[in-house]
Amino acid sequence: MIIAKLVEKIDSFIHQLTEKVSFHGGVHPAQNKLMSTHQPIQTAPFAAQLILPLNQHIGPESVPLVQIGQQVLAGELIARCAPPLGVPLHAPTSGTITDIGDYPIAHASGIYSRCIVLTPDGLNQMASFTPRSIPTSPQSLKAILLHSGIIGMGGAGFPSFRKIANKTGQIHTLIVNGAECEPFITCDDMLMRERPTAIIEGALMVAHALGATRVLVGIEDNKPEAALAMKTVYQHATQYPNIQLDIVPVPTIYPMGGADQLITQLTAKEVPSDGHSSDLGLIMFNVATLAAVYDAVTVGNPVLNRVVTITGFAIEHPCNVLAPIGTPFNHLVTWAGLKQQDAQWLMGGPMMGVPVTNFQSPVIKTTNCILANPPEPEAETLPCIRCGACMDACPIHLLPQQLYWHAKAGELEKLEALHLKDCIECGCCAYVCPSHIPLVQYYRHGKVAVRTANNDKIAAQRAKQRHENQLARKAAEEQERSNRLAAKRAAMMAADEAAQAAEAPKELR
Query: What residues are paired with 309 via a beta bridge?
Result: 320, 369
Residues 15, 28 contacting (CB under 8 angstroms): yes
Tell me whether residue 335 or residue 404 sits nearer to ligand SF4 (CB atom): 404
Q: At what angle do helices 400-409 and 439-503 cross, to 10 degrees?
A: 60
Q: What's the min distance (Å) between Cβ of 434 and ligand SF4?
A: 6
Q: What's the min distance (Å) between Cβ of 394 and ligand SF4?
A: 3
Residues 90, 302 contacting (CB under 8 angstroms): yes
* Residue 205 CB neighbours (<10 A): 23
SS3 at position 72: strand
Q: What's the min distance (Å) between Cβ of 348 and ligand SF4?
A: 14
Q: What's the min distance (Å) between Cβ of 422 and ligand SF4?
A: 7
Query: What residues are paired with 103 via a beta bridge?
Result: 113
Under the rule (CB under 6 A), what is the footprint of ligand SF4?
A: 384-390, 393-394, 396, 398, 400-401, 404, 423-429, 432-435, 437, 439-440, 443
Q: What's the min distance (Å) between Cβ of 419 and ligand SF4?
A: 10
Query: What residues are paired with 489 via a beta bridge?
Result: none
Tell me whether residue 192 or residue 437 sits nearer to ligand SF4 (CB atom): 437
- What is 297-362 written as a DSSP string? HHT-----EEEEEEESTTBSS-EEEEEETT-BHHHHHHHH-BS-TTPEEEES-TTT-EE-S-TTPB
Spatial separation of the C-alpha atoms in residues 256 and 264, rounded to whole Å: 10
Q: What's the min distance (Å) between Cβ of 317 and ligand SF4?
A: 33
Tell me whether residue 297 or residue 437 sits nearer to ligand SF4 (CB atom): 437
Tell me whether residue 161 or residue 254 sits nearer to ligand SF4 (CB atom): 254
Tell me whether residue 45 or residue 355 sits nearer to ligand SF4 (CB atom): 355
Tell me whether residue 231 or residue 421 sits nearer to ligand SF4 (CB atom): 421
SS3 at position 499: helix
In Å, how far from its chain's centre is CA 371? 19
Spatial separation of the C-alpha atoms in residues 171 and 149, rounded to whole Å: 23
Spatial separation of the C-alpha atoms in residues 246 and 214, rounded to whole Å: 8
Q: What's the min distance (Å) between Cβ of 111 and ligand SF4?
A: 22
Calculate the dihedral angle through the C-alpha atoms of 273, 278, 283, 289, rounding to the nearest 10 degrees.
Answer: 80
DSSP category for residue 83: T
Q: What's the min distance (Å) between Cβ of 426 and ligand SF4?
A: 4
Report in angstroms the alpha-carbon separations of 157 from 57, 87, 286: 5, 10, 11
Tell me whether residue 253 or residue 315 sits nearer to ligand SF4 (CB atom): 253
Tell me whether residue 181 or residue 428 sits nearer to ligand SF4 (CB atom): 428
- What is 426-463 written as a DSSP string? --HHHHH-TT---HHHHHHHHHHHHHHHHHHHHHHHHH
Q: What's the min distance (Å) between Cβ of 256 and ligand SF4?
A: 13
Q: For the stretch 91-124, what's the b/e string if a residue is b when 16 or more beta carbons lie within 10 angstroms of its beta carbon?
A: bbbbbebeebeebbbbbeeeeebbbbbbbbeeee
Q: What's the min distance (Å) between Cβ of 450 and ligand SF4?
A: 14
Tell me whether residue 385 or residue 492 sits nearer to ligand SF4 (CB atom): 385
Tell me whether residue 71 or residue 441 sits nearer to ligand SF4 (CB atom): 441
Tell me whether residue 14 or residue 385 sits nearer to ligand SF4 (CB atom): 385
- 443: Cβ–Cβ under 8 A, 6 or more apart, which residues? 403, 407, 420, 423, 425
